[in-house]
Structure 1
Amino acid sequence: MSKYHEDVVRLLEYVGGKENIAAVTHCATRMRFVLNDPSLANEKAIDDLTSVKGMFTNAGQFQVIIGNDVSTFYNEFTAYSGIEGVSKEQGKVLAKQNQNPLQRALAVLAEIFTPIIPAIIVGGLILGFRNVLGEIDFNGATIISRSVFWNGVNDFLWLPGEAIFHFLPVGITWSITRKMGTTQILGIILGITLVSPQLLNAYAVPGTAAADIPFWDFGFFQMDKIGYQAQVLPAMLAGFMLAYLEIFFRKRIPEAVSMIFVPLFALLPTIIAAHAVLGPIGWWLGDLISQVVNAGLTSSFSWLFSFIFGMLYSPLVITGLHHMSNAIDMQLIATYTTTNLWPMIALSNIAQGSAVLAIIFLHRGNKKEEQVSIPSTISAYLGVTEPAMFGINLKYVYPFVAAMIGSGFAGMFSNIMGVRANAIGVGGLPGILAINGKEGGGWLAFAAAMAIAIVVPFFLTILFEKQGIFNKNQAVASDKTLTQVGGTSTKTSAETKIEPLYAVGDGQVIPLEEVADPVFSQKMMGDGYALVPESKKVYAPVEGTVTSIFATKHALGLLTKAGAEILIHMGLDTVELKGKPFQILVKEGEQVTPQTLLAEMDLDGVKAAGKATDIIVVMTNTEKMVHLDLATTGSVTASQALGEYIVQ
């Protein structure tokens, strides 16, 4: 009988049988199912399987975490079930059958904004720092009024801030062409034509008399020379027109001349339409949306509107609907220069973290759970809530409800006090940097709202558990096998061994919690670290033996002398690249040391494909892991000692 036969048989039964599986595929760590009826999946029974490390549903796919032996499990599963596997891209296409039209539209919106969110976050931090320099009154004067140096810094920082927010249409049109699989440079050029310096800046339009607005005169008609800086909808409408025109002409123009005529017939009509029709319509529609939202947040019923939004933002994150708020926030800023929506989003982040903090307090001593709950709290307080929600709060339900209620009250207070943000992207506790200090209650009011978002969810979570309210009554068992010895967790009943851990390359070492993939950030695969590489060379993080090399070349498995199974995963979701950016330089069975060059990764190729280059190093046989001490983070060089781990 094969190694995974029993779990394979049970998993097939628990996902609803062969007839409930529309497609199945796998990546480096997880099985990816597209189920005809997701409600038939028995999640509790699946979670109890020995081979399963966790599960979640994303983008219409039911994903079951197996570990770095997933390819063996997958082969046994497909052989037993008789189901032919599909590629990951085919799986994504089939997964859309589990999404309604609204979910599909929002999925498209998410795919457009996701690649540009890092820039928006950086821009928010920059504008937040400029807030501190230029708006906070320190004993009657601001920092820039007292210091020539800081005045220069403040002035200089407007350069990247303007590049990110004023030229946002360039990022949007590029992202649309990337998502649609069309020519990305054409998207960039289209975006530039929307924000060209030859046009009247969008921020100057409201203050310019109609007679003074410049225009192109074509004799029989005129077209206003208006820019669309920071505008979202005009860029989206133009971007999709460009993409669909290119797809249309690609199919009809002979390949021999397509290089010339496809870009010409796609780009030029789109630019004309963008300035003549799409831009004005998008501007009008964007203003209408922002006016409706702003009216809801400033009307006599604003307290109710803000309470409901504050409560429901976290459920919106689960459904993906929260991506719509990015577009609305950017439109509010374009229309009013500030937004009253973003402060409530930042408060929702804090509330989720506070609920997990209460779980840490209630379940103190549960070392296994703390491996998820502690980093989840930190990430939520810094604005990333998915680990907190999926790892802890939704598991128990009552902390999630407590966070929703606390977020509702905090959002209501914030809006009643007139708190507004200058930028978006900075969530959680650092969100105070984005708050406009001159409008409404400013920083003091937002600080009070943050206190509400901390205190209310914390005490409600405790109350709900004690009283059994919204409680799924899941058993919470302390990990009795762990004791504290000299500040280090260790098993009391087994011999332990210590092995050193090294950097897999040159770059920046970051905690797993900061990785943009819940499987790794929530440590479903095990503990370890991530490296944001600055060199293509990837070295062994430990001394051991190469046990597996994935066919797609994006991941390797090592086994150390102490029995630790180490997974080196190059990039995120890079299984889709089918090995193109990777060159493996070792063979299975080969002995390696931290000085052994395992592989080379084409960083530019990975980035060009829209993937993150993070290299993940995790110990996957978590039952042997006693403790990991990552003593070094930040800038490192290849083969540099980072810390050690204890295994039994």
Structure 2
Amino acid sequence: MMENHKIAEEVIDAVGGRENIQSVAHCATRLRIMVNDKEKINQEHVEQINKVKGAFFNSGQYQIIFGTGTVNRIYEEIANLGLATMTASDQKKEAVKSGSKIQRAVRTFGDVFVPIIPVLVATGLFMGLRGLVMQDQVLALFGMKTDDVSKNFILFTQVLTDTAFIFLPALVAWSTFRVFGGTPIIGLILGLMLVSPSLPNVWSVAGGDVKPLHFFGFIPVVGYQASVLPAFIAGIIGAKLERAIRKRIPESLDLILTPFLTLLSMIILSLLVIGPAFHTVEKGILTAATTVLSLPFGIAGIILGGLNQVIVVTGVHHIFNMLEIQLLAQYHSNPYNAIVTCAGAAQGGATLAVALKTKSKKLKALSFPSALSAFLGITEPALFGVNLRYGKPFIMALIGGACGGFVASLLKLKATGMALTVIPGTLLYLNGQVLLYILVNLIAIAVAFVLTWMFGYSDKIKEEVEK
């Protein structure tokens, strides 16, 4: 398509020409370009290119938002022009070398936990569906009561909802080994050892039904079902230990000795040192998080709902994945989700107000799909394409997120999963909360929309920004 070919040429020109481009990759919505000198990027030119919904520099990459489908076609045109291309994962590895130590640490943290999220999303949906099916009103439609539900059916749903959390340390250790350069299958086995049936079950110990083992008379040893931090730390140390051992073992013995010595050393270290120490730290983090989330008068919702999208802008929001995973693992509920959902919905509400108020056809064409994207849980197009560009809509959206979060906190909404927000997020509230969930989203959207319409945007602001 000639239009996409022209856009590809304009993108290359706007980012400083071929000689300034190291590599090009893409994700679901964004073209990701690694450049030699970011000072050569003409931001204004990029934002004026047709179909561009926003652009920003983050995580060592210049990211241009095109949206789903469109980005694939632009990427193909750029590849056809002979530019160096990479997979998104390979480019991310290169980008990791850039940025501050904190940015690199957070990026690595995200690389460990993001691959685990899909199975936890599925588990959350299973929990929500079970909650829906087990409601008295739904059972009554089939002439049944709770006592009439087959025990085998309950057992089947428990397999669906409990497995991922019981074996969570295995998933965490596997992913950590993968990211830190170890052999993932060794990490998987180490994680499975941490939840071995031979160890006292941590939930049974907590309930007082079982006593922990005591090594040397004072070190408590239990299984670490649904635990995150011990497996994460064990994964980091284990991956580094495996690499160190491999360097010192003759190649002919590597296949036998490296896994043997790694697993032997790490299970001793994990059960006797890492597990007891970091399980205590983990419980402290969880206690602090639940204390904040339980602050009275909706204070938690105001703080988290108001600041969440500021954190998204900085790119360090993935660090909260561990918190959500811990909440779900320990309590099978996630009060954080409803609050941050309001923050995302509010960005969509502000962008929708801009779309309806502006007389610019180009801005309308950008804002409407960006608002829809936010309502589907992806806020970057709205954030970087519209709200941050004009400033005040972003502030109004933060207020809307705080208001929605305030009500969500007062209503004590709790998701059955994570990672799904706004419209898709309704699937996590099927256990009798869905109407309240819709209500808090509408509040966030309405507040952001009205404030943006009245005080946050006018075409005069647009003209001033684009001078």
Which TM-score bucket, shorter chain as reference?
0.7 to 0.9
Question: Match of 2:211?
Answer: 213
Distance of 1:291 and 1:199 partners within structure 2? 25
The 8 Å contact of residues 465 and 471 in structure 1, kept in 2 or not, is answered as no
The 8 Å contact of residues 338 and 413 in structure 2, kept in 1 or not, is answered as yes
- Residue 116 of structure 1 deviates from its aligned partner by 1.4
- Residue 369 of structure 1 deviates from its aligned partner by 4.9
Aligned with residue 244 of structure 1, among 229, 240, 246: 240
Distance of 2:143 and 2:463 partners within structure 1? 52
Larger proportion of strand = 1
- Residue 247 of structure 1 deviates from its aligned partner by 1.2
Tell whether 2:412 aligns with 1:421. Answer: no
Question: Match of 2:68?
Answer: none
Distance of 2:152 and 2:332 partners within structure 1? 23
Q: CA RMSD of the aligned region, Å?
A: 4.1
Superposition map of 1:356-371 within 5 A? 356-362=351-357, 366=361, 369-370=364-365
* Equivalent residue letter for 2:176: I
Question: Match of 1:381?
Answer: 375
| Residues 306 and 224 (structure 1), Cα distance of their counterparts in 2 relative to 1, 3 Å cut | same
Aligned with residue 325 of structure 1, among 320, 323, 348: 320
Superposition map of 1:372-521 within 5 A? 373-435=367-429, 445-466=436-457, 473=464
| Residues 88 and 431 (structure 1), Cα distance of their counterparts in 2 relative to 1, 3 Å cut | closer
- Residue 257 of structure 1 deviates from its aligned partner by 0.8
| Residues 46 and 162 (structure 1), Cα distance of their counterparts in 2 relative to 1, 3 Å cut | same
The 8 Å contact of residues 352 and 385 in structure 1, kept in 2 or not, is answered as yes
Distance of 2:141 and 2:92 partners within structure 1? 56
- Residue 432 of structure 1 deviates from its aligned partner by 4.5
- Residue 44 of structure 1 deviates from its aligned partner by 0.5
Distance of 2:197 and 2:144 partners within structure 1? 28
Superposition map of 1:188-203 within 5 A? 188-203=188-203
Which deviations, in whole Å up to 9, do the C-alpha atoms of 1:431-465 show, x marking residues without a partner? Answer: 34435969xxx556444322212211222232245
- Residue 131 of structure 1 deviates from its aligned partner by 1.7
Distance of 2:63 and 2:242 partners within structure 1? 35
Higher relative contact order (CA 8 A, sep 6+): 2
Question: Match of 1:111?
Answer: 111
Distance of 1:153 and 1:474 partners within structure 2? 60
The 8 Å contact of residues 411 and 449 in structure 1, kept in 2 or not, is answered as yes
Distance of 1:425 and 1:435 partners within structure 2? 13
SS of residue matched to 1:419: coil
Tell whether 2:34 aligns with 1:33. Answer: yes
- Residue 335 of structure 1 deviates from its aligned partner by 4.3
Question: Match of 1:177?
Answer: 177
- Residue 33 of structure 1 deviates from its aligned partner by 2.6
Distance of 1:228 and 1:432 partners within structure 2? 31
- Residue 166 of structure 1 deviates from its aligned partner by 2.5
SS of residue matched to 1:316: helix
Question: Match of 1:122?
Answer: 122
* Equivalent residue letter for 1:133: V
* Equivalent residue letter for 2:404: A
Moved more, 229-238 or 91-100: 91-100
Distance of 1:150 and 1:340 partners within structure 2? 30
Distance of 1:142 and 1:45 partners within structure 2? 61
TM-score using structure 2 length:
0.80
- Residue 474 of structure 1 deviates from its aligned partner by 5.9
SS of residue matched to 2:76: coil
* Equivalent residue letter for 1:180: F
Tell whether 2:233 aligns with 1:231. Answer: no
Which deviations, in whole Å up to 9, do the C-alpha atoms of 1:128-182 show, x marking residues without a partner? Answer: 1112123565699999726957876554222121122222222111111222232
Question: Match of 2:261?
Answer: 265
The 8 Å contact of residues 25 and 88 in structure 1, kept in 2 or not, is answered as no
- Residue 69 of structure 1 deviates from its aligned partner by 3.7
Distance of 2:126 and 2:107 partners within structure 1? 29
Tell whether 2:334 aligns with 1:339. Answer: yes
Distance of 2:334 and 2:42 partners within structure 1? 43
Gaps of 5+ in 1: 79-84, 476-648
Structure (1 or 2) with the larger CA radius of gyration: 1
Question: Match of 1:583?
Answer: none
Which deviations, in whole Å up to 9, do the C-alpha atoms of 1:231-255 show, x marking residues without a partner? Answer: 1111101111211111111222121
Which deviations, in whole Å up to 9, do the C-alpha atoms of 1:170-217 show, x marking residues without a partner? Answer: 2111111222232111111111112223333333332217xx414266
- Residue 109 of structure 1 deviates from its aligned partner by 0.9
Question: Match of 1:279?
Answer: 275
Gaps of 5+ in 2: 1-5, 65-70
| Residues 473 and 204 (structure 1), Cα distance of their counterparts in 2 relative to 1, 3 Å cut | farther
Question: Match of 2:309?
Answer: 314
Distance of 1:145 and 1:178 partners within structure 2? 47
- Residue 270 of structure 1 deviates from its aligned partner by 1.1
Distance of 1:467 and 1:367 partners within structure 2? 15
SS of residue matched to 2:224: coil
- Residue 376 of structure 1 deviates from its aligned partner by 4.2
| Residues 72 and 333 (structure 1), Cα distance of their counterparts in 2 relative to 1, 3 Å cut | closer
Larger proportion of helix = 2
* Equivalent residue letter for 1:423: G
The 8 Å contact of residues 437 and 443 in structure 1, kept in 2 or not, is answered as yes
Distance of 1:469 and 1:125 partners within structure 2? 45
Distance of 2:440 and 2:88 partners within structure 1? 44
The 8 Å contact of residues 133 and 142 in structure 1, kept in 2 or not, is answered as no
SS of residue matched to 1:33: strand
SS of residue matched to 1:338: coil
- Residue 53 of structure 1 deviates from its aligned partner by 9.3
Tell whether 2:66 aligns with 1:70. Answer: no
TM-score using structure 1 length:
0.60
- Residue 68 of structure 1 deviates from its aligned partner by 2.8
* Equivalent residue letter for 1:168: L
Moved more, 387-396 or 409-418: 387-396
Distance of 2:33 and 2:240 partners within structure 1? 30
Percent identity at matched positions? 31
Distance of 2:375 and 2:53 partners within structure 1? 26
The 8 Å contact of residues 358 and 458 in structure 2, kept in 1 or not, is answered as no
The 8 Å contact of residues 345 and 422 in structure 2, kept in 1 or not, is answered as yes
Distance of 2:12 and 2:122 partners within structure 1? 48
- Residue 259 of structure 1 deviates from its aligned partner by 0.8
Which deviations, in whole Å up to 9, do the C-alpha atoms of 1:522-566 show, x marking residues without a partner? Answer: xxxxxxxxxxxxxxxxxxxxxxxxxxxxxxxxxxxxxxxxxxxxx
Distance of 1:188 and 1:429 partners within structure 2? 35
